[in-house]
Amino acid sequence: MVKKVKHSSRIHLKQSAYKANLNFIRKKIGDHAVFSSVVKANAYGHGIEAFVPMAERCGVRHFSVASSFEAEEVLSVCKKDSHIMIMGIIYEEDIPWAVEHDIEFFVYNYDRLPVALEAAKKVGKPAKVHIEVETGANRTGMPSKEFPKSLRYLKKHSEHLIFEGLCTHFGGAESFSNQFKLDMQHKRYKEFLKVCKKEKIEPNVRHIACSAAALAMPETVYDMVRVGVAQYGFWPSPDIYYHHLQEVNKTSDSALKRIFSWKTDIMDIRDVKEGEFIGYGTAYQATHKMTIAVMPLGYSNGYPRALSNRGQVLIHGKKAPIVGLINMNLFMVDISHIPNVKVGDEVVLIGRQKNNVINVSSFTNTTQLLNNEMLSRLPAAIPRTVVK
């Protein structure tokens, strides 16, 4: 879609930072495992349309999404030789579409197999299925009692059904306090692998590792890893970060780099007299004569309302504190301490400006939002641009 009119904010994705993250993750997982880039939730807010081609320029050819809807978005921008895998919801009526486009999908119920078979016959192409097994997260996952008959079904219909993968997902790999649960899940996964051996049918790829597991549990890296949060430059948790620091014997490390920055520009500037209230209600009263700048975005544009009276933005490399409530599409910041600010000057909402930086985590520390939650809620309408 050609955008003729300027949007009130913009997101930049830094390709060199992404490449560095890929190299770092590759070192952790070794040479042979396929790297599947998890781009659900509009690539964790980074924007599928810009992110997927950037990842492809860095060599990525496998993408995982949560729904057939997201798969369609990836399909519309990816290269012909890229693979797409749906890990979550795909409606029965969309299965022929997936088969038609070689899109792989998770199957977690025996009943799905005849549906996939029918779609494959109808389309005249084999369906590539990943059997997701239940190992202890009790989310989606095929129970062990349905597994042997599913394998026999796959074997019987191998002309139309490709047993592409056997997988599971850890419930909480980012926290070491869950280690006993992760070990149990991994043990159960190995039981499923044994059943495959017994039934003499093997998946093409075995995959269970998400970011945290790929970075900290090398024994979980089989033939493929499904990496989301780490590729965007975020440590999955402090546990995983400290685990890495111990491994490399350092006290800090910036191996993972944020690729994302979010900017806007100043809409208006005004002076406010001492004692005046700023914005809606009485949430902020000027304690002295102030100069404030008006920002052309608000909570409807993904800027968390919880940052009312507590967040900060960067202007001329200096922190400008938010004054008053975040409105639906406006908020105000105090610039009394920053000289020579003009309407139209660049404002950094997240990212670096001169020697200062505002991280997603500084947002989320004060608001209880998860990094992933904040990022994934950024509206798709904000334009995303890749920069070197």
Active site residues: 40, 280
Site track 204-223 with ligand PLP (rule: CB under 6 A), x = hit = ------xxx-----------
Under the criterion CB under 6 A, does residue 43 sit at the interface with ligand PLP?
Answer: no
Helix (H) or strand (E) holding 53: helix 48-57
Closest to ligand PLP by CB, 38 or 382? 38
| 236, 279, 298, 324: residue in contact with ligand PLP (rule CB under 6 A) | 236
Under the criterion CB under 6 A, does residue 96 sit at the interface with ligand PLP?
Answer: no
- Whole-angstrom Cα distance, residue 22 to residue 71? 22
- Whole-angstrom Cα distance, residue 349 to residue 188? 45
Closest to ligand PLP by CB, 33 or 38? 38
- Whole-angstrom Cα distance, residue 285 to residue 283? 7
Closest to ligand PLP by CB, 173 or 382? 173
Under the criterion CB under 6 A, does residue 279 sit at the interface with ligand PLP?
Answer: no
Under the criterion CB under 6 A, does residue 166 sit at the interface with ligand PLP?
Answer: no
CB of 208 to ligand PLP, least distance (A): 9
Q: How far is CA 353 from the centre of its chain?
A: 24
Q: Which structure tokens are listed for 167?
A: 């997988």
| 169, 186, 206, 244: residue in contact with ligand PLP (rule CB under 6 A) | 169
Closest to ligand PLP by CB, 212 or 314? 212
**Residue 374, annotated ligand binder?**
no
| 62, 128, 226, 244: residue in contact with ligand PLP (rule CB under 6 A) | 226
Contact 58, 289 (CB under 8 A): no
- DSSP 8-state code for residue 82: -
Site track 282-321 with ligand PLP (rule: CB under 6 A), x = hit = ----------------------------------------
Under the criterion CB under 6 A, does residue 65 sit at the interface with ligand PLP?
Answer: no
CB of 372 to ligand PLP, least distance (A): 7
| 38, 129, 259, 348: residue in contact with ligand PLP (rule CB under 6 A) | 38
**Residue 295, annotated ligand binder?**
no
Q: Which structure tokens are listed for 60?
A: 């990525």
| 87, 224, 325, 341: residue in contact with ligand PLP (rule CB under 6 A) | 87
Under the criterion CB under 6 A, does residue 50 sit at the interface with ligand PLP?
Answer: no
CB of 44 to ligand PLP, least distance (A): 7
Under the criterion CB under 6 A, does residue 375 sit at the interface with ligand PLP?
Answer: no
Q: Which residues pair with 86 in a beta bridge?
A: 65, 105
CB of 283 to ligand PLP, least distance (A): 35
Closest to ligand PLP by CB, 151 or 230? 230
Phi, psi for residue 54 in degrees, rounded to 5: -65, -45
338 CB-near residues (< 8 Å, 6+ apart):
315, 316, 318, 320
| 227, 259, 290, 313: residue in contact with ligand PLP (rule CB under 6 A) | 227
Q: Which residues pair with 165 in a beta bridge?
A: 130, 205
- Whole-angstrom Cα distance, residue 249 to residue 235? 17
CB of 289 to ligand PLP, least distance (A): 47
Under the criterion CB under 6 A, does residue 229 sit at the interface with ligand PLP?
Answer: yes
- DSSP 8-state code for residue 339: T
Contact 163, 131 (CB under 8 A): yes
DSSP 224-288: EEEE-GGGGT--S-HHHHHHHHHHHT-S----S---EEEEEE--EEEEE-TT-B-SSTTS-B-SS
Closest to ligand PLP by CB, 74 or 322? 74
Under the criterion CB under 6 A, does residue 141 sit at the interface with ligand PLP?
Answer: no
Show the beta-strand stretches assigned E in the chain.
10-14, 34-38, 62-67, 83-89, 104-107, 127-132, 161-167, 205-209, 224-227, 260-265, 268-272, 290-295, 312-315, 318-323, 331-334, 346-353, 356-358, 384-387
Q: Which residues are annotated as a binding site for substrate?
A: 139, 328
Contact residues: ligand PLP, CB under 6 A:
38, 40, 87, 169, 210-212, 226-230, 236
